[in-house]
Structure 1
Amino acid sequence: MSVVNRDQDQESDQPRPQPRLGRQASWFEGEDEAQAERGGLFVGVVVDRALDAVLTYRAPQRLVASIQLGQRVRVPLGRNGVVTGYCVSVDLLPPEDLPPSKIKDVVEILDAVPLIDARMLELTRWMAGYYMCSWGQALDAVVPAGVRNQAGTRVGTFLVVRPEARQAFDDETLQKTLTAKQTAAIEALCRSDELLTVSDVCRRAKCGAGVIKTLRDDGLIHTVKRRLSLAASRNDEPAAGEPTAAPKPPPAMTPEQAAAMAALTPALDGDAFAPFVIFGVTGSGKTEVYLTAIERTVARGREAIVLVPEISLTPQTIRRFRRRFRRVAVLHSHLSDVERHRHWQSIAQGEIDVVVGARSAIFAPTRRLGLIVVDEEHESTFKQETVPRYHARDVAVKRAQLENTPVLLGSATPSLETWRNAELGRYARISMPSRVEGRPMPAVEIIDLRNEKHLTGGLSETLRLAMHQALDDDGQVILLLNRRGYNTFVICPKCGQVVKCRHCDVAATYHKNRHMLICHTCDAERACPPACPSCQAPVLHYGGIGTERLEREIRMEFPFHESRRMDSDTMRRHGSHEVTLAAFKSGDVKILLGTQMIAKGLDFPNVTLVGVVDADVALHLPDFRAAERTFQLVAQVAGRTGRGNRPGRVLVQSFCPEHPAIANAARHDYEGFVRYELPTREAPLASPYGRIVRLVARGKDEARVEKYLNELAKTLRAKAPPGVRFWGPSPTPILKIREEFRFHLQIRCASAAPLRTMLRDLPLHPPPNKVDLAVDVDPISML
């Protein structure tokens, strides 16, 4: 949910309650009272634990000059020994309720330069309160592991001439007491512009280690430790901040693009928070609006952050930005820790104008942020599924609010939460209903699979003939099937049992290339059984079609046309996306088939046919967003064709052609789908009409997990304020994952405040041993 959306979000502007201070007396009993007399500052520290408290420590005199907000520090914490935390406050006096004698010292400061600035501290404090995690957990999510571990650096020991010895050497008085070798060593150190090790000095002065030892014993030189960057690792991408080819001039804008920029310009030239929704059909030129807005931002000396779904972070997208801007950093999951650290440093040092990346890029340490863009804002990949379970789109809106900058949320199929915000006037909506150069939207035909009597594979006769026609006309084809593997299930025809994963309550998928059954939930593999595991019947039936089987069918039907498959099985190697898409763009590959990773972000003018092999894959899942996701996926993939001078055609295969999600996607009618879908959400307080918190308990003992959640639900119901509704507890649709049984409880309310109040004391009801509880605010998946 967005920070400024819906009625209750107005409370976001109110002062937040201050984090409570940790009482440490019980941890530090017996501390010497003389500690109170020592000098120093008192710092608040948060740690990466479920403990939502700011703990107070003393920065001793030796650290007073170095301690700053946002630095990581090493502090003692009870039985945990010494742990790492973040400095979030610095005060001259300790809290009134905490005697100075009970406060322990900060052990060490880990960062010479703070990793977190004041505004990021404020953002993470909000995240902790909103997503119901600790401040330390939120901070640890903001700083990448490669940055925390200072990947690509090493600590070296170097020699330094003491100041008084350097002065005496410069005055030429010291040389009288030194040997020739000692003089050469001191001279090498004094004349060097870089730090030197013992071996460096010995090599330059042509002396032995004994000479160095004598100078150290005499107190003329000493050793220091410094952290240095290693040589940049090999990377196919330009280094962060490294100038690329000269930017190309922008193309002429269409009237709709010009109108969009006219609406954005006052906000781009100002210094105030301004949220916009750019609602443009596929091919309307939204990306050009983003690029022009970013150019205006960079011209003012500001930086921009562009968020794209990981699945859409294609080389094609990256190239478009690098053609327009010289200093671009790209943050994505394929970066090594060393590369991510290098990018982070470049951004923090002001060497980057544009940061492009997936959800974690919203935390990029820009210093003069002027614009945030969230492309394909409806994508579920913007939601983090581990603590802290934040939604990058909503964090982007909050960061823009804190930084007083505009934020653009763009999509051809906006999420219903974003659409509702625009309807209520909380976001300004900019519509782009036409394609560039007046190109028509592709014609969409729904193929009713109930009438396909002889369907033996994934392709109906209509789709098969349409592919032949497109290929004969020298066009290209994209086929979407959002299921991996060869067969999606294996069933016993005698007893009807489906072969499941041994660790999860899901059907195992057959992968023929590896002749293995693979669980797509936990990735566990098992050999194909020779007989039914339940009744031992010797024959098993392999059913359902995945991308691997579709690929085989395509190659048999179109042997003279090169085809490629794009799914998480074939795109494992670094650069594999770029190789495949480059071959498709050049025309060497005529048929591109795959899962949802091909459904958006691709712009190939020669694609004249798109086929959706099974539009019903996710339509009937037990999730209130199932219809919305189906509509978005079909509408997005339909927009991949007709983007050039040749008209496009879309064929959608479905067993439910009359379903509003399918029918409206075929008509390119987003607003028609919204008119159907929104009323179904209002009564049950489903988003965007209600706020939802999902509590998921899991553990290996099914009875213990169920009992705990039932007791917790009973406790919460007893103190629930009016207007709060409960769904469950009940088993999750997928009962078991990785040997753990799962039960969930949904709590809904028209506003967020009652939910936060009710769940504030949740830590007072911890789960029993071997049971875990996850708190998911604004859940995206109900499975």
Structure 2
Amino acid sequence: MIPSDSGQGGSMEFAEVAVDAPLSLEKTLTYCIPNHMSVRCGHLVWVPLGRRPVQGVVFSVSRLPRILDPRNIISVIGPYPLLSTKNLDLAKWISSYYMCSLYQAAVLFLPPGFKGQVNAFISVTDGKNSESVVKDDEKDVVKYIGHKVAVTENIARKDIGTKRMATLAKLVRTGVLSKSWVISRKRSKPRFLLSISNGNIGDDLLPELDRTAPRQASLLRTLIEASQSIPAKELREKFGSTTLNVLIKKCLVVREWSRVVISKQIGKVQGKRDSIVLSSDQEMAVQEIGKALEEECSSQSFLLYGVTGSGKTEVYLRALEKCISAGRQGLMLVPEISLTPQMMNRVNERFPGRTAIIHSGQTLREQFDAWWGIWDGSFDVIVGPRSALFAPVSNLGLVVIDEEHEWTYKQQDKPPRFHVRETAIKLTQQANIPLVLGTATPDVTTFNRAQRSRHKLLILPNRIGHNQMPRKLARVYLVDMRKELMEGNRSPFSRRLSKSLSETVANGKQALLFLNRRGSATLVQCRDCGSILRCKRCDVSLTYHRDIGLVCHQCARRESPPEWCPICVEGRIRYLGLGTEKVVVELEGLFPGIKVSRWDSDSKSGKGDYQQIMEEFSDGRTQVLVGTQMIAKGLHFPNVSVVGVVQADIGLYFPDFRAGERTFQLLCQVAGRTGRGLDHGEVIFQTYLPDNYAIRTAAQQDYYKFYIQEMELRKYQRNPPFSRLVHMIYVHTNEETCKKEASTMARTLKSEIYKEGIGDLEIVGPVPGHPTRIRGRYRWHMIIRGLNPHFLLNGRIFPKGWSVDVDPVNVL
């Protein structure tokens, strides 16, 4: 039983705890620290909340409680705090800026698998007479629980249904049933190694043991001769467990526990390359970053803007070398898990045995071991996607974000909806260390900040060849697919692309084909009534995949391909559109006998599949690689001589103000995958919109020209960087309720804007989302646009169903 008050005198200490519960932003609850507990800021604890225990993080400790009669902390998780003071400060900023609870922000810093769960168990109350239950549905519930003896609430919900859970709750309130809570065990825990060392025994003891216990004497001599501790497992295997246990009881040996860190090597580690001579632009960039590293308390941020193949990675590595030589650690972030092996190879090559990798694609044990290895300071460089930003690096000296423009650096699916770039800026400012943002296609907002001297701009204007001499970018050809159709070509490949692929295959070179659509057919339509097969849970069309049938790319629902139309019951079903699967089939028919591989999220069936695809293409076993945006980011394949973009305008049709920017970035990035070897390289953009500014400037590979045109549009529309946005989405299973709630919230916010006289803030919407329904829930959304949208939202508690996304990367 948990006491409801501290029951102690004035010498007690009190903790402010951020708990795992829906509370207002930045709110903590006060708990009493029992005298037998040692609790400090950053500790993970179990505390009572209502009738159940919840997990929490201690944010402050004081001798004065904020409330009368606070309840006691139940227990402390772990012997020492898991969050440092700097972690807590950054969590407070994340909570305030991205409008999430303090606990949601603090969880980012916890070890993998440490977020505990509480299971609610239902049982029949002892001594209660169930005969007092008269209603049939209540009798059924009591009978079910009685047969189970004790059952978790989640299992009961599945067995008896959601509707009868209200009956179950009533029986708990009346005391017929009882509810209790059990704290689940952590899914993973640290590994420890037991070693044995000599206990400084006297010289006269060994002769005595030789006579009475020769095995014990032999074990002790082994320890003395080793002059260091020996793993207990080895000693048990050689001398037996009984012998070792007796010496431990006699206190003749010393036990030593040490945490075991297992760092699994990711990818191939190549031999160390010959020393690379930097270009003058690279040298200048390294010197500028080096100056910031040498200065104390320098939080200078750099934008390293370099065209594809200009040697940005080498600049990162030289900067990390300077950081490590100064006795500090470095953090390198990449946008995709699939890119970590290739980057890991480069980093391992430069810092062998001193590099850690951590990401959600690893097993829980691998993540756990890597996390604790970083905690112990066993690594100099940490590589990973956005979650690696919160790794427990104790002596951080430099943060590098590769491909800083990538939208995958933003967490969108759950709170906190933070962006790595903005969070890293705050982290490096708090730690007074430099930040390097690298890209060939900067985010418009980031480049605008560099233009206004908020970031120091470092430019690598030229590609670097094998002899370190500047070389031109690959030539880009723009093919108007409207003309191809008018001239009778109905193939997904233009005549120029087909010719280039034929020459590439014949010459033993490699090619990349980019199409940002998965599957075989993106639409399945009835030729008689014109209806399109759609997901029953989402407002999207189903995509046809050859191996698995019809799939919804929103909720992953699967259906078998129909033999006839479900609307008109006719059998003329047509598969329309183009995806990566169909491109592979077309290529295999066009070039029989060559190896074609596909790289998208569907091509991964097991762990290490992406790595195998990359290695086969890198080794030349695959001649043509077809993929989605995964193949457009940061990959280095010198033997690629042709890159074909099958549908260059596919991203322009989204109702999002960043559609043009994202299209330009993708096209420039994928164009940069060729021309990295001896061949100059050739890129072919197939499009139905050849005059669109994003496609035209991407074909010219002219970022400055794109930036000027994009900024004109942004200024006219008052979009970032000329304002800030907050994207609010409301979801509900009932369409009318969803619309009504969104409209009510919009009216409330507009009224407050008028009341406060905030002239620069405006509400755009509400309107149905795109798509309008996902997983059975309708979506209505609106945008708050202005210089300081936080002013309107601070202190506001949103009802269940609302999500708030500050600085969204899309507004669909």
The TM-score bracket by the shorter chain reads 0.7 to 0.9
Q: How far apart in 2 are the matches of 1:246 and 1:561?
A: 30
Of 759, 778, 785, the residue aligned with 1:748 is 785
Of 256, 273, 287, the residue aligned with 2:299 is 273
Question: Are residue 389 (structure 1) and residue 417 (structure 2) matched?
Answer: yes
Of 434, 456, 459, the residue aligned with 1:431 is 459
Q: How far apart in 2 are the matches of 1:623 and 1:231?
A: 45
1:230 shift after superposition: 7.7
Q: How far apart in 2 are the matches of 1:657 and 1:676?
A: 16
Q: How does 1:137-536 map to 2 (within 5 A)?
A: 137-148=104-115, 151-153=187-189, 204-205=241-242, 235=264, 237=266, 248=273, 250-271=275-296, 272-310=298-336, 313-326=339-352, 327-385=354-412, 386-436=414-464, 437-453=469-485, 454-514=488-548, 516-536=549-569
Runs of 5+ unmatched residues, structure 2: 117-185, 206-211, 224-228
Q: Secondary structure at the match of 2:650?
A: coil
Shift in CA distance, 288/206, structure 1 to aligned 2, threshold 3 Å: closer
**What is the match of residue 98 of structure 1?**
67
Contact residue 311 and residue 597 of structure 1 kept, 8 A = no
Q: How far apart in 2 are the matches of 1:423 and 1:558?
A: 49
Q: How does 1:644-659 map to 2 (within 5 A)?
A: 644-659=677-692
**What is the match of residue 59 of structure 2?**
88
Q: Which amino acid aligns with 2:317?
A: L
Shift in CA distance, 550/204, structure 1 to aligned 2, threshold 3 Å: closer
Q: Secondary structure at the match of 1:542?
A: strand
Q: Which amino acid aligns with 1:40?
A: M
Return 456-465 or 351-360, whichever deviates more.
456-465
Q: Which amino acid aligns with 1:254?
A: S
Q: Secondary structure at the match of 1:732?
A: strand
Contact residue 48 and residue 140 of structure 1 kept, 8 A = no
Shift in CA distance, 301/745, structure 1 to aligned 2, threshold 3 Å: same
Q: Which amino acid aligns with 2:686?
A: Q
Q: How far apart in 2 are the matches of 1:420 and 1:530?
A: 55
Contact residue 88 and residue 121 of structure 1 kept, 8 A = yes
TM-score of the two chains, using structure 1 as the length reference: 0.84
Q: How far apart in 2 are the matches of 1:232 and 1:301?
A: 23
Return 44-53 or 479-488, whichever deviates more.
44-53
Q: Secondary structure at the match of 2:603?
A: coil
Q: Structure 1 runs of 4+ off > 4 angstroms?
A: 147-152, 169-172, 191-196, 226-233, 244-249
Runs of 5+ unmatched residues, structure 1: 1-27, 159-165, 173-179
Question: Are residue 590 (structure 1) and residue 623 (structure 2) matched?
Answer: yes
Contact residue 356 and residue 370 of structure 2 kept, 8 A = yes
Q: Secondary structure at the match of 2:666?
A: helix
**What is the match of residue 6 of structure 1?**
none
Shift in CA distance, 661/407, structure 1 to aligned 2, threshold 3 Å: same
Q: How far apart in 2 are the matches of 1:731 and 1:227?
A: 59
Q: How far apart in 2 are the matches of 1:548 and 1:314?
A: 25
Shift in CA distance, 676/251, structure 1 to aligned 2, threshold 3 Å: same
Q: How big is each residue's C-alpha offset from its partner over 1:401-443, in whole Å with a ceiling of 9 and x where there is no partner?
A: 1110100111100001101111111111011111112121111
1:498 shift after superposition: 1.2
Question: Are residue 133 (structure 1) and residue 170 (structure 2) matched?
Answer: no
Contact residue 46 and residue 74 of structure 2 kept, 8 A = yes
**What is the match of residue 144 of structure 2?**
none
Q: How big is each residue's C-alpha offset from its partner over 1:358-393, in whole Å with a ceiling of 9 and x where there is no partner?
A: 001111111111100010000010010111000011
Shift in CA distance, 250/85, structure 1 to aligned 2, threshold 3 Å: farther
Shift in CA distance, 47/457, structure 1 to aligned 2, threshold 3 Å: farther
1:227 shift after superposition: 10
**What is the match of residue 60 of structure 1?**
34
- Aligned residues: percent identity? 36
Question: Are residue 773 (structure 1) and residue 773 (structure 2) matched?
Answer: no
**What is the match of residue 20 of structure 1?**
none
Shift in CA distance, 703/324, structure 1 to aligned 2, threshold 3 Å: same
Question: Are residue 120 (structure 1) and residue 156 (structure 2) matched?
Answer: no
Contact residue 358 and residue 371 of structure 2 kept, 8 A = no
Q: How far apart in 2 are the matches of 1:458 and 1:408?
A: 41
Q: Secondary structure at the match of 1:775?
A: strand
Q: Which amino acid aligns with 1:269?
A: E
Q: How far apart in 2 are the matches of 1:715 and 1:577?
A: 49
Q: How big is each residue's C-alpha offset from its partner over 1:308-332, in whole Å with a ceiling of 9 and x where there is no partner?
A: 1115524222100100013001112
Q: How far apart in 2 are the matches of 1:670 and 1:560?
A: 40
Contact residue 190 and residue 369 of structure 2 kept, 8 A = no
Question: Are residue 735 (structure 1) and residue 761 (structure 2) matched?
Answer: no
When the two chains are superposed, the root-mean-square deviation of aligned CA atoms in Å is: 3.4
Contact residue 50 and residue 133 of structure 1 kept, 8 A = no
Q: Which amino acid aligns with 1:109?
A: V
Contact residue 278 and residue 408 of structure 1 kept, 8 A = yes
TM-score of the two chains, using structure 2 as the length reference: 0.81
1:394 shift after superposition: 1.0
Shift in CA distance, 311/466, structure 1 to aligned 2, threshold 3 Å: farther
Shift in CA distance, 553/155, structure 1 to aligned 2, threshold 3 Å: closer
Contact residue 484 and residue 490 of structure 2 kept, 8 A = no
Q: How far apart in 1 are the matches of 2:575 and 2:270?
A: 52
Of 725, 729, 733, the residue aligned with 1:700 is 733
Return 501-510 or 146-155, whichever deviates more.
146-155
Contact residue 616 and residue 656 of structure 1 kept, 8 A = yes
Shift in CA distance, 245/602, structure 1 to aligned 2, threshold 3 Å: closer
**What is the match of residue 602 of structure 1?**
635
Q: Secondary structure at the match of 1:474?
A: coil
Q: How far apart in 1 are the matches of 2:784 and 2:459?
A: 35
Q: How far apart in 2 are the matches of 1:538 and 1:593?
A: 32
1:195 shift after superposition: 9.0
1:113 shift after superposition: 2.5
Question: Are residue 550 (structure 1) and residue 583 (structure 2) matched?
Answer: yes
Q: How far apart in 2 are the matches of 1:674 and 1:447?
A: 23
Q: How big is each residue's C-alpha offset from its partner over 1:61-80, in whole Å with a ceiling of 9 and x where there is no partner?
A: 1113xx2221101111123x
Contact residue 190 and residue 368 of structure 2 kept, 8 A = no
Q: Which amino acid aligns with 1:366?
A: V
The count of corresponding residues between Structure 1 and Structure 2 is: 707
Shift in CA distance, 98/314, structure 1 to aligned 2, threshold 3 Å: closer
Q: How far apart in 1 are the matches of 2:583 and 2:4?
A: 71
Shift in CA distance, 231/370, structure 1 to aligned 2, threshold 3 Å: closer
Q: How does 1:635-646 map to 2 (within 5 A)?
A: 635-646=668-679
Shift in CA distance, 531/75, structure 1 to aligned 2, threshold 3 Å: same
1:236 shift after superposition: 5.2
Q: How far apart in 2 are the matches of 1:194 and 1:547?
A: 53
Q: How big is each residue's C-alpha offset from its partner over 1:128-174, in whole Å with a ceiling of 9 and x where there is no partner?
A: 00000011111112324335466543799x9xxxxxxx9xx9999xx
Contact residue 314 and residue 577 of structure 1 kept, 8 A = no
1:49 shift after superposition: 2.5
Of 566, 580, 583, the residue aligned with 2:599 is 566
Q: How far apart in 2 are the matches of 1:418 and 1:383?
A: 15
Q: How far apart in 1 are the matches of 2:112 and 2:243?
A: 42
